[in-house]
Amino acid sequence: MLILLLAYRSLKQLQDTLVKRESGFDLTARSAFSKADNQFSSRSFSAMLARNMTPNSHRKIADNYTIIKKIFKYQAVASRITNQEKSLLNSYDFGTLEFTTAERMYKELELLRKWSASSDEKLKNDADTILEIRAKELKFLDTMGNAYISNEIYQGYAVLTNYFNEISKYPIC
């Protein structure tokens, strides 16, 4: 009986020690790359960018977007996407940017990064074209002042803006 009591006390002390040493790291906290109103899960830009190299085509599209945004602050001509571009998005089960959630945009960017590094030329070209379409949609939303965003859950455009800002050589400060 005495042995069981000593074993219980020792186990209780070990448990208390482990609880005291518990890490304060919170996986649901804001990422270093997030803005004040942006909170997301453990999936963050730092994790996505650290996973593998960013394709050069993504960097070129991001540079183009950030340079134009820096110089003009808005788009002089920003047209909506065409039906052909919309059908390409639909063929890969991507919706339009104004109806894309942040989590969905993270998944799309992850896929596009993977597809851009693929050995399949058609998939690689389609991935680059889809990112160009996304940049065109983002330019349109910037021009319209995000007036087309119908709901606060559709924050995919903010994720895409942050992504372009992080991978560009000319970030918007």
The Cα 127–Cα 55 span in angstroms is 11
Query: 9-65 pLDDT, tens per residue?
Result: 765 665 566 555 544 444 444 444 555 555 444 455 555 665 557 888 999 999 988
Kindly state the DSSP code that residue 170 receives in the 8-state scheme.
S
Number of domains in the chain: 1
The Cα 41–Cα 56 span in angstroms is 27
Is 40 within a domain?
no
CA torsion, points 85, 87, 89, 92, in degrees to nearest 10? -140
Maximum Cα interatomic distance, the chain, rounded to a whole number of Å: 84
Is 87 within a domain?
yes
Predicted confidence band of residue 91 (pLDDT cuts 50, 70, 90): very high
Q: Is 118 within 8 Å of 57 (Cβ atoms)?
A: no
For 136, the domain range is: 59-173
Say what the pTM is: 0.69
Q: How far is CA 69 from the centre of its chain?
A: 19
Query: 96-134 pLDDT, tens per residue?
Result: 988 888 889 999 999 999 999 889 999 999 999 999 999
Is 135 within a domain?
yes
Is 91 within a domain?
yes
Query: 129-169 pLDDT, tens per residue?
Result: 999 999 999 888 887 776 666 667 788 888 898 899 888 88
Is 25 within a domain?
no
